[in-house]
Structure 1
Amino acid sequence: MSTNTDIAKLDDLIVTTIDSIKGYEHSAEHAERDRYTEFFVAMASERRQVVDALSAQSRELGGTPADYGSTAGTIHRRIEDLRRVLGGGDKAILSEIERGEDYLKEEFERAIADEHISSGTNGVIRVCFESVMRGHDRAKQLKEALAAAD
């Protein structure tokens, strides 16, 4: 178990979670219903807390946490824009949010399963994963409720 491995894994999760923040902020700007805007703003705030926890662990290990998202995250937001413009509205936004949440969940699951990560870092990741799962489940519920209303 190397500190460098921990820092690298934390950085991957930080970048992916920053993508999630940006995705929620972007979605909040374009949502048609206030309830979705409020949800997206709240989720962006929760994700910032996850980034703060992961960043604190990285700094404790001597790392310099990332403060930017990825190119893939930017592309994902452009896909959301396209789907929304083509008439998808909130339904398209929630579909893209759910896809992003699925990806984030998988990234955290891979990190937790990584045997090369120290127990301390794994513990921080597990605590953050609880927040990720709550957000994932809420996004899925909102999407299903919107689909049922149609």
Structure 2
Amino acid sequence: MDNERIVSMLNSLIEISRDGANGFRTCMDDADDEVLKTYFQNRAQSCEEAVRTLSAEVRRYGGNPETSGSAAGALHRTWVDLKTAMTSQDNLAVLEECERGEAAAVVAYENALREEMPGDLRALLDQQYEGTKRNHDRVRQLRDQARHGVKAI
């Protein structure tokens, strides 16, 4: 894979990570449970760290890092706000939409990891992918708890 393709792939991951950070902040604002708010805030910070790391890699490969999220991510956040407004900030609605966003991030990392790339970059993306899967699995677990009326723990 040449540097131009690497930069393009990394910039796509920056977009999805930025979408994740913004999405977790939206969920934090829309949730009515303090434990969930804290969890979402922590995850937003984790996504921001991924953006910083990926941006450094883009520069290392001679590119300019993406500075915004995707249009789809912005639309998704608007949908989260609308849906939670209609359900009086229902934590289940927030978690369902958050899980959708995290599922998209998992797919983005899986697609990136199918590409040929230098070993050190693969190791970094593998590490971030594992974190993304953990986020997705935890959000899904919280969503399932909310469906059964169990408070977030």
Query: In the alignment, what sits opposite 1:101?
Result: 102
Query: In the alignment, what sits opposite 1:46?
Result: 46
Query: In the alignment, what sits opposite 1:121?
Result: 121
How many residue pairs get matched?
Answer: 149
Return the offset for 1:12.
0.3
Counterpart Cα distance in 2 of 1:62 and 1:122:
18
Counterpart Cα distance in 2 of 1:64 and 1:124:
19
| 1:17-32 aligned within 5 A | 17-32=17-32
Counterpart Cα distance in 1 of 2:130 and 2:39:
18
Extract unaligned runs of 5+ from structure 2. none
The answer as to whether partners of 2:26 and 2:80 remain within 8 angstroms in 1 is no
Counterpart Cα distance in 1 of 2:123 and 2:66:
20
% identical equivalent positions: 28
Residue 94 of structure 2 aligns to which amino acid in structure 1?
Answer: I
Return the offset for 1:26.
1.2
| 1:1-150 aligned within 5 A | 1-87=1-87, 89-115=90-116, 117-149=117-149
Residue 24 of structure 1 aligns to which amino acid in structure 2?
Answer: F
Residue 6 of structure 1 aligns to which amino acid in structure 2?
Answer: I
Residue 125 of structure 1 aligns to which amino acid in structure 2?
Answer: L
Residue 57 of structure 1 aligns to which amino acid in structure 2?
Answer: E
Counterpart Cα distance in 1 of 2:120 and 2:7:
12
Q: State the superposition RMSD in angstroms.
A: 1.3
Could you list the per-position Cα deviations for residues 4-53 of structure 1 after superposition, in whole angstroms to 9, with x for gaps in the alignment? 11000000000111011001111111211101100100100111121122
Counterpart Cα distance in 2 of 1:89 and 1:8:
37
- The normalised TM-score by structure 1 is 0.93
Counterpart Cα distance in 2 of 1:147 and 1:46:
26
The answer as to whether partners of 1:16 and 1:104 remain within 8 angstroms in 2 is yes
The answer as to whether partners of 1:57 and 1:124 remain within 8 angstroms in 2 is no
Could you list the per-position Cα deviations for residues 43-66 of structure 1 after superposition, in whole angstroms to 9, with x for gaps in the alignment? 001111211221111111111111
Local SS of the residue matching 1:149: coil
Residue 86 of structure 1 aligns to which amino acid in structure 2?
Answer: M
The answer as to whether partners of 1:108 and 1:129 remain within 8 angstroms in 2 is yes
